[in-house]
Structure 1
Amino acid sequence: MTLKTDLETECAKIFSSPWEKTDGTVVPNTEDLKLSNHGRNLDVAVLYADLADSTVMVDSCGADFAAEVYKTFLYCAARIIRSNGGEITAYDGDRVMAVFVGDRKCSNAARTALEIKWVVKNIVQVKMDAVYTTKKFIVKHVCGIDTTKVLVARTGIRGTNDLVWVGRSANYAAKLSALPHSVSTYVTAEVYKKLDDQSKLSSGTDMWTMYKWTEFDGRIIYGSNYTWAIA
């Protein structure tokens, strides 16, 4: 079988095969799903945490320094995600994607974002400045969060495959994390409505400001520059 014939056969098979889908409440492992049209429906909150100005950082500060910022940012973000019950689904260069499930998924995702903000300011930046005393680089990032049902499917070829998360929340969270870093955390209105008081209020004051998502379709979103200290 030639490569062309193989590709034609597989594409025809994927487009014509019915889907076998089940509803789930926990994040599946890759091995839980088949490479055929087999998927899992999950109600999730998706978080993207994305470094800002990484291209400028690489060009102006060099690869070694940029790699250290990538590593510290992603390490801290990943640890915080795990500590709040999230599951890391992908690393993509200078950003990480995570999903949260359960009744408190939106609040847990929001807390994660606020903790990442605190850690970037009080740990990553401080430790970086202590070593690079002559550099004046400020680490900036943006977190984006949305919540919807998604379809989890396994994609790729045998020997190299992974899960994909298909649904609005994965796309919107990624788009939100690409917004200007003047605000460090953005959530959709659907996430905001599901936040508990701890994730919404600070000493009785709403931590979130309403914005219009002018870069997209003008819908209402909420942003915050508050932080959540970790012990």
Structure 2
Amino acid sequence: MSHATNMDNIRSMLNDSYTKEDTSTIPKRTDLTFGNTLKKIKHTVVFYVDMRGSRKIIQDSTSFMSVKVHRSFLQAITYCVENRGGHFRSFNGDGALAFFVGDNDSTDAVKAALDLKSYVMEMNTILEDKISKKVDFGVGIGQGAIYVAKSGKKGDDSTKQDLVWVGLPVYVSVELSDYARSSNNIWISPAVKSSLDKQGDKFVLTDDKDGSSIWTRETKNLKSLGETSVYKTSYYSTLKLSQ
């Protein structure tokens, strides 16, 4: 294919009309075809996590250790997300994207994040013993409607194809993850906090006689939402991670 032909394809993508189909499920790559039809997920909770500290491990340790850290982190993310009913869809370098749908989607997403922090803490005890290093991470959680389209090169080579996830909740969750780091590793949008309250799970500390929440409110001027109240927490799940 020539440059001119490829540019013609790009012009078509930019100029053609698109149609949408509503869905309440999280599609896989094989569920969508190339073309001008988008899937609109009317409501989903977007879970974005970003690992920090991996560059330092690459610089100061063997490449094998870097691979071990990334594989371990991905294993922790996928299990925590799927164990809470979520749908893991994308991992690129240090970042990962997942989605939750259902009656308790916000609650399930937050519980997955709290579980993940417990895993990372346990991973860090191993890493500190082996290489005197730790990894950090940040989870951002937003919610709302998003669009999904199949992108890449047509044909049988799926390595050149992927799904594109577009919408304000995606941008919000990514932006919140930028703020999230130890000890406040989990940040949620005001819409997610409102949903948690409606779902009846305010994440109240059970050992606190006053019923205090695990959340701390903070005002941020987000590129995606403007000046708004967001919520962060330093808490984590208490999990049995040893046989």
Q: Secondary structure at the match of 2:134?
A: coil
Residue 165 of structure 2 corresponds to 165
Residue 191 of structure 1 corresponds to 192
Q: What is the alpha-carbon distance in structure 2 between the residues aligned to residue 219 and residue 184 of structure 1? A: 19
Q: Secondary structure at the match of 1:206?
A: coil
Question: In the TM superposition, what whole-angstrom CA distance separates every residue of 1:25-57 from its partner, at most 9, and x where no partner exists?
Answer: 111122322211111111111111111122223
Q: What is the alpha-carbon distance in structure 2 between the residues aligned to residue 9 and residue 161 of structure 1? A: 19
Instruction: Trace 1:139-154 onto structure 2 (pairs within 5 A).
Output: 139-154=135-150
Q: Secondary structure at the match of 2:171?
A: helix
Identity of counterpart residues, as a percentage? 22
Structure 1 counterpart of 2:189, one-letter code: T
Structure 2 counterpart of 1:41, one-letter code: K
Residue 217 of structure 2 corresponds to 210
Q: Secondary structure at the match of 1:229?
A: coil
With 88-97 and 65-74 compared, the bigger mean Cα shift is at 65-74
CA contact 1:111–1:199 (8 Å) conserved in 2: no
Shift of 1:89: 1.2
CA contact 1:48–1:96 (8 Å) conserved in 2: yes
Residue 26 of structure 1 corresponds to 25
Q: What is the alpha-carbon distance in structure 2 between the residues aligned to residue 15 and residue 91 of structure 1? A: 27
Shift of 1:215: 6.2
CA contact 1:45–1:145 (8 Å) conserved in 2: yes
Q: What is the alpha-carbon distance in structure 2 between the residues aligned to residue 62 and residue 199 of structure 1? A: 43
Structure 1 counterpart of 2:230, one-letter code: I
Residues 186, 69 of structure 1: alpha-carbon distance in 2 compared, 3 angstrom cutoff:
same
Residue 98 of structure 1 corresponds to 98
With 61-70 and 20-29 compared, the bigger mean Cα shift is at 61-70
CA contact 2:202–2:213 (8 Å) conserved in 1: no
Q: Secondary structure at the match of 2:20?
A: strand
CA contact 1:146–1:191 (8 Å) conserved in 2: yes
Unaligned runs of 5+ in 1: none
Residue 39 of structure 1 corresponds to 38
Q: What is the alpha-carbon distance in structure 2 between the residues aligned to residue 214 and residue 193 of structure 1? A: 19
Unaligned runs of 5+ in 2: none
With 138-147 and 26-35 compared, the bigger mean Cα shift is at 26-35
Residue 230 of structure 1 corresponds to 239
CA contact 1:38–1:154 (8 Å) conserved in 2: no
Residue 50 of structure 1 corresponds to 50
Shift of 1:180: 4.8
What TM-score results when the alignment is normalised by the length of structure 1? Answer: 0.90
Shift of 1:178: 1.8
Residues 101, 226 of structure 1: alpha-carbon distance in 2 compared, 3 angstrom cutoff:
same
Q: What is the alpha-carbon distance in structure 1 between the residues aligned to residue 67 and residue 7 of structure 2? A: 40
Residue 10 of structure 1 corresponds to 9
Shift of 1:71: 1.4
Structure 2 counterpart of 1:15, one-letter code: L
Q: What is the alpha-carbon distance in structure 2 between the residues aligned to residue 180 and residue 59 of structure 1? A: 23
Residue 156 of structure 1 corresponds to 152
Residue 114 of structure 1 corresponds to 114
Structure 1 counterpart of 2:232, one-letter code: G
With 104-113 and 46-55 compared, the bigger mean Cα shift is at 46-55
CA contact 1:74–1:95 (8 Å) conserved in 2: no
Structure 1 counterpart of 2:38, one-letter code: G
Q: Secondary structure at the match of 1:112?
A: helix
CA contact 1:150–1:169 (8 Å) conserved in 2: yes
